[in-house]
Amino acid sequence: MKAIVRRALFVAGMGLVVIGASVGANAQAPAEIAQRQELMKANGGAMRTLTPMVRGEAPWNAQAAGQAAAKLQEDAVRAKALFPAGTGPDKGQTAALPAIWERKAEFDGMFDKQAQAAANLVRLASANDEAGFKAAFPAVGQTCGGCHTPFRKPN
């Protein structure tokens, strides 16, 4: 009897070890990491649409500018939700620095600032205010860099 119990315990124990190991092996990086990387890439695309226009290297197109700015605004709102606790560099391949979760309110505030700056661009584009748009554009770049500087690992 005693031996059977011991054996059962042993089998159960091994089972747990196997389950544990398989969980470990299948442990996926949190989905948010890939989602926010995609989002940032798309933001880069929007910036690439806007920058030549603002620099006067591409013709001004109010509709395209408005769409790109709207994308930035929408992404700033979405991105804020993609940095929950437990999605830091200890959980997967990410350049997000632990400082994000140490100073979460400050970090989240940067997305609010970005959303506001982008919303301002959307407004100016829909008013076809080319000069106003160009004057307001640097504020968006500053919020990008303002967040990357303290919160993203340099590559």
Partner 1 sequence: MNGARKVHLVRLAGVIMFVAGAASSASAQSGDAKRGEYLFAAGGCAGCHTDEKNGGQLIAGGRELKTPFGSFFGPNITADPKFGIGSWTDAEFIRALREGRRPDGAHYFPVFPYTSFTWMTDRDMVDLKAFIFSLPKSERPSRPHEIAFPFSLRFLQFGWKALFFREGPFQPDPAKSTQVNRGTYLVEALGHCAECHSPRNILGGIPGSMRFAGDPKAPGGGKVPNITPDRDTGIGKWSDGDIDELLASGMTPDGDSVGGEMGEVVRNSTSKLTPEDRKAMLAYLRQLVPVSHKVRGGS
Q: By the criterion CB under 8 A, which residues form the site for partner 1?
A: 40, 43-48, 51-52, 55, 57, 138, 141-142, 144-155
- We find the least distance from the C-beta atom of residue 60 to partner 1, in angstroms, to be 16
Which CB atom, from 28 or from 149, has the smaller least distance to partner 1? 149
Which CB atom, from 28 or from 48, has the smaller least distance to partner 1? 48
Instruction: Describe the crossing of helices 31-55 and 130-151 by its angle, rounded to 10 degrees.
Output: 140
H or E segment to which residue 142 belongs = helix 130-151
Strand, helix or coil at 152?
A: strand
- We find the least distance from the C-beta atom of residue 14 to partner 1, in angstroms, to be 41
- We find the least distance from the C-beta atom of residue 68 to partner 1, in angstroms, to be 10
> What's the Cα-to-Cα distance from 130 to each of 74, 86, 138, 146, rounded to whole Å?
21, 43, 14, 25
